[in-house]
A and B are shown apart, each in its own frame.
Chain A
Amino acid sequence: MRILVAEDLYLLRDGMVRLIEACGHQVVATAATGPETLDALRTWRPDVSVIDVRMPPTQSDEGLRAALTARAEVPGLPVLILSQHVEQLYARELLADGSGGIGYLLKESVFDADQFVGALERVAAGGTAMDPAVIAKLLSSGSPDRAFKRLTDREFAVLGLMAEGLSNQAIGRRLFLSESAIGKYTTSLFGKLGITDDEDGNRRVRAVLAYLNK
């Protein structure tokens, strides 16, 4: 995969580049500020980009804005946001266009190289990778609307893990269930949420979106 790394702290940027290259992927460009990131996204059109939210020159949400601008120009451009903090508000903004290829993780997720690169690959393939911290907050906040009240606890748990971006197989491993059982749960929860049949990957993104916009 051709990857862009946008991060203002040199040590972190360097570490990530090394980690990604050690895992056999190619870093095509790096960026240290918001405008550089946007330029690099436009010129290189990487398979996936790793972007920090807070970057110079303003030390505000430059990275996030660059990602949103680039995705407005190129719908579905895969972007993995890596931040010290995960905020529901930002997660919602990223997912708002409904086109998938989005990830939003805490920086410490790079501690586990397999997990990190796995998330990168999922996002590059058009899936989602949401941090469990965001999902936990989403599950606990607000009053669920009627469609969500019809979900069973087990379906709810499956939806949460699906929102993190896990595959049926991985969800099965987490919940100690077989992959086919998870398949049944996902089909039934898609039905309850009124998400009709099309390509499976996109359906998963739409379920998460439905959850975010409840």
Chain B
Amino acid sequence: MGQLGLWVVRAAVGFGRACVVVAVSLLVPAVWAAAVALGIWWGAENPWSWLLPVVLVCVGTVALSRPVCRIVRLLVARWTATVIPDGYRQPGQLTRLSTGFWWNGFSYERTRRDALMDQKWRTRRHDPANWRDLRFIAIVPFTAGLVACAPPAGVVAAVLGLGRSESVARLVGVLGAVLAVAAAPYAWRPIEPVAVRFLRPSPAMALADRVTELTAQRADTTVAQAAEIRRIERDLHDGAQARLVALGLSLATARRLMETDPDQAKALMRDAQAGATASLAELRELIRGISPPVLSERGLADAVRALALDIPLDVSVSADDTALRLDPPIESAVYFGLAELLTNAVRHAGASRARVCLTRDDLGIVAEVEDDGRGGAGERAGGGLEGLRRRLAVFDGTLEITSPPGGPTRARMAVPCESL
């Protein structure tokens, strides 16, 4: 009974879905049929009677293509959990100029509404996705649409055939009923492979998206690098360089005073020595900020172990030593990422112990940090975690953070490496 009930439910659901598929995929052919009907009704004598139906076909097809595709994507995602990216071009930013006009990336408009409309239509018109959508709505009625017609057609045949008294008509009615019941659970299914095959972004569109993404990343990297170089320059200029000048001055003065006032000369020499020590300490800190010595000498695993020793936490490190000599930029990104996460654990989470795990998977390197702090870590715009995500994005790396209030916080950085 349970088995049968289940089957009935599946058949009913399948029937409903098949009807929806038919309705959606036959929407555009319905417009075409309406246009043909209009042409016939208008009459063949009028030499211009073809004009209106042709306009109707063109406008109807173009206007319906995107909504139909959106609905198909939505249905496929809901029924089969297969998400098909749409790959439509997104309109850019609107900027208000000091003159009060709006610039939408293409033209200046007097009002915001005009600018948005203009931008929307221009983006839409040049979108290569339009051609893909048109192709899809031309294909779908004859593939998935046709198959999905089976159950409703069977029902229609059954209703018409069983209502008549001829035996042939009754036989057709019975066959129709059998067809409807048997095909109902399966007839809607072809919509998924058809949508996956013809509705995903074409390689050209995927490439265009990738180029946009890379351009943004390059801009990020360039800005970050320039800022870093400025910081180093400022630190050197204000710190070590100034101290060395002071050192030179002290030594010059001491040389002058050597004969006349040896005691003061000695004091100056002592100051000079202290200055040299201080500038060395400053340079050391600076170098540690650019590239930690253990990282360049020993690689990531040992650098993380050294980091764990310096962090005022009980940190356990497990690392797969054999495989962890990576490209220096990736090593550096992962190292500073871990440093940031551990610092957060100390500063914000109030953790007392943490676990760092470095492993590799098929794609690249995975670094995980787990602490026993209070959790609730979130990403703020312009915050450390967002900066970290951006730095990893340069290498196509990802950052996942799960941090329920009350802890524990788990962070996972994954960076793909070709060298592994």
Which residues of A pack against B, CB within 8 Å? Answer: 53-54, 59-61, 84-85, 87-90, 92, 106-108, 111, 137, 140-143
Contacts and interface: CB of A to CB of B under 8 A. Distances in A.
A142 B314 contact: yes
Contacts of B276: 108, 111
14 contacts: A54-B293, A59-B296, A84-B280, A85-B284, A87-B293, A87-B294, A90-B294, A92-B309, A107-B280, A111-B277, A141-B311, A141-B312, A142-B314, A143-B352
B280 A61 contact: no
Given A89-B305, A92-B309, A141-B310, 10 more contacts: A61-B298, A84-B280, A84-B284, A88-B309, A89-B309, A108-B277, A140-B312, A141-B312, A142-B313, A143-B314
B362 interface: no
B306 A88 contact: yes
Nearest to A143: B314
B273 interface: yes
B297 interface: yes
Contacts of B302: 89
Nearest to B288: A85
Contact of A60 (B284, B288, B296): B296
Interface string B284-312: 10011000011011100010011001111
A60 B308 CA distance: 20
**Interface size class of chain B, counting residues whose CB lies under 8 Å from the partner chain:** 20 to 34
B280 A108 contact: yes
B277 A88 contact: no
A54 B295 CA distance: 12
Given A108-B276, A111-B273, A54 B297 contact: yes
Interface in B54-102: none
A84 B293 contact: yes
B310 A88 contact: yes
Nearest to A93: B302
Contacts of B284: 84-85
Contacts of B309: 88-89, 92, 137, 141-142
Contacts of B311: 141
Contact of A85 (B273, B277, B293): B293
A61 to B, nearest CB: 4
A140 B273 CA distance: 28
A108 B313 CA distance: 30
A140 B287 CA distance: 22
B312 to A, nearest CB: 6
A142 B310 CA distance: 8
Given A54-B293, A87-B293, A137 B310 contact: yes
Given A60-B298, A61-B297, A84-B293, A89 B312 contact: no
A62 to B, nearest CB: 9
A88 B314 CA distance: 15
Nearest to A84: B284
Nearest to B278: A108
